[in-house]
Amino acid sequence: MKFKMDHIVINTVDIETMLHFYTNILELPGERIEEFHDHQVPFPSVRITVDSIIDLFPKGLWENDKPENVCRPNLNHFCLSTNKAEWELLQKRLNNNDIAIDDGPVKRWGAHGAGISIYFRDPEQNVIEVRYYESDEADKPCMLNS
Cα separation, 42 vs 56, in Å, equals 10
More confident residue, 143 or 63: 63
Full-model pTM:
0.84
Cα separation, 129 vs 81, in Å, equals 8
67-126 pLDDT, tens per residue? 666 666 667 899 999 999 999 999 999 999 999 999 999 999 999 999 999 999 999 999
Number of C-beta neighbours around residue 73 at 10 A = 5
DSSP class of 144: T
- Map residue 69 onto helix, strand or coil: helix
pLDDT at 70: 62
Where in the chain do CATH 3.10.180.10 domains reside? Answer: 1-64, 75-146
Cα separation, 128 vs 120, in Å, equals 5
pLDDT at 143: 46
Q: Side chain identity at 66, as an amino acid letter? A: K
Predicted confidence (pLDDT) at residue 45 exceeds the cutoff of 70: yes
Cα separation, 127 vs 129, in Å, equals 7
Close Cβ partners of 92 (under 8 Å, ≥ 6 residues apart): none
Secondary element (H or E) of residue 45: strand 45-47
CATH class name, domain 75-146:
alpha beta
Q: Which residue(s) pair with 11 in the sheet?
A: 57
CATH of domain 1-64: 3.10.180.10
